[in-house]
């Protein structure tokens, strides 16, 4: 699979934050929904913060997909034929959406094929995020770490496309009864894939080939049992992605030349 990070690490399901660096890692404000979030995230929730390329802050945070305020919450979903029953946070999320999550998949109207996406606007107060993005994983028997790296890339590109400055990502594999892939390795692949995809977008922006836009924060959400392992893998993934970015150098895309723009993501 040729990835420098994912295969050799521990296990986890965690919350990661990517944020444009603010003084002393000051928290970045997130647009509020009507009413309080359904599951507030206390200030003392375990969290590990890492400095990522392009002025991003990466946080691994012990929080579920219903409770993190963000512009965009992302989860993954196996196809209906995989027979992966919802447990834990996926049951809670589905209930908060009135059963829409399972219904749209089980009806075949969202097949959850590998890398297929579907955007949902949750009812006010259902979850803490403004929007919910589903990324399909396809057949659970074929899921591998390369797929999770590509999921990370899709997640980052969808965040940029929808101008979602604050993103929360929950792999939700364990809460679909899937245990074959190590959660720490999954986290490393998702993070590396997201960072490298965003690096490409940032380079295009600087060249005037995309509108200027900066991701401000990215939470990689994880359960308590996986927090320590995912945090360890997240730090290594950031380092590996940064090294690959250095190898890319400053080569321009095509002959358009760098645009006279103030875009410095």
Digit-coded pLDDT (tens) for 61-112 = 999 999 999 999 999 999 999 999 999 999 999 999 999 999 999 999 999 9
Higher pLDDT, 36 or 143: 143
Model confidence at 46: pLDDT above 80: yes
Q: What percent of the chain has pLDDT over 90?
A: 75
Query: SS3 letters for 81-116?
Result: HHCCCCCHHHHHHHHHCCCHHHHHHHCCCCCCCCCC
Report residue 40: phi and psi, to 5°.
-55, 145
The DSSP bridge pattern shows strands 47-52 and 56-61 to be antiparallel
Average pLDDT for residues 161-180, to the nearest whole number? 97
Model confidence at 32: pLDDT above 70: no
Average pLDDT for residues 167-188, to the nearest whole number? 98
CA 19 to chain CA centroid, nearest Å: 13
The DSSP bridge pattern shows strands 56-61 and 129-138 to be unpaired
pTM of the entire predicted model = 0.83
Domain spanning 6-25+44-248: which CATH class is it, in words? Answer: alpha beta
Cα 173 from Cα 90, distance rounded (Å): 9
């Amino acid at each position: 699979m040729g990835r420098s990070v994912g295969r050799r690490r521990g296990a986890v399901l965690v919350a990661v934050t990517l944020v444009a660096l603010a003084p002393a890692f000051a928290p970045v404000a997130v647009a509020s929904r009507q009413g309080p979030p359904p599951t507030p995230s206390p200030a003392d929730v375990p969290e590990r913060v890492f400095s990522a390329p392009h002025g991003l802050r990466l946080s691994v945070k012990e929080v579920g997909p219903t409770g993190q305020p963000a512009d965009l919450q992302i989860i993954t979903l196996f196809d209906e034929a995989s027979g992966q029953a919802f447990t834990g946070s996926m049951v809670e999320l589905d209930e908060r959406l009135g059963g829409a999550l399972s219904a749209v998949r089980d009806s075949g109207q969202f097949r959850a094929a590998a890398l297929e996406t579907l955007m949902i606007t949750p009812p006010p107060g259902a979850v803490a995020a403004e929007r919910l993005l589903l990324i399909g994983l396809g057949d659970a028997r074929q899921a591998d770490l390369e797929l999770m790296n590509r999921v990370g890339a899709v997640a980052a590109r969808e965040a940029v496309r929808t101008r979602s400055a604050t993103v929360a990502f929950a792999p939700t594999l364990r809460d679909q009864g899937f245990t074959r892939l190590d959660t720490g390795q999954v986290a490393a692949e998702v993070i590396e894939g997201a960072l490298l995809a965003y690096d490409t977008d940032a380079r295009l922006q600087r060249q005037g080939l995309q509108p200027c836009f900066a991701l401000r924060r990215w939470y990689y959400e994880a359960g308590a049992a996986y927090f320590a392992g995912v945090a360890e893998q997240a730090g290594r993934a950031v380092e590996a992605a940064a090294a690959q970015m250095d190898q890319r150098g400053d080569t321009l895309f095509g002959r358009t030349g760098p645009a006279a723009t103030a875009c410095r993501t």
